[in-house]
Amino acid sequence: MFLYRFLINIIIIFSPLIIIFRLIKKKEHLTRFKEKLCFFSKKRGSGNLVWFHGSSVGEILSIIPVIEKLEKDKSINKILLTSSTLSSSNILKKFRFKKTIHQFFPIDGNYFCKKFLNYWKPQAVFFVESEI
């Protein structure tokens, strides 16, 4: 765990350079990359929020049927859907969800994770993994 945290902190130090490189390669959204640094582009709103995370396009697509059902559930006010890739974000543009908000998953550092959780305050969290 120490090595992992150490390496994450090194990556965080170099993250501005990494992000610039990824912007040049068109692997990041020009304005939304800041979400990975917990500069939120969407408002949370009030009420119950359920959070789903899928890193890739396949994982996001596997969540869609669940999201469609939860969109009809009156006890859920907002659905937060996070992903890590620009392509998964682009896939979500094809759907017309009313309650669902997409944000990019934050960098895995203590500061960013705490800030993310304190802002969104999810009532339930579901991580989808297709490579198990």
Provide the b/e sequence for 100-129 (b: ≥16 CB within 10 Å). bbbbbbbbebeebeebbeeebebeeeeebe
Check if 59 is active-site. yes
Q: Provide the 10 A C-beta neighbour count for residue 97.
A: 15
What the block records as the tokens of 41 is 């582009």
Task: Find the catalytic residue in 28, 35, 59, 129.
Answer: 59
Catalogue the E-assigned strands of the chain.
Answer: 49-54, 78-83, 100-104, 124-128
Active site residues: 59
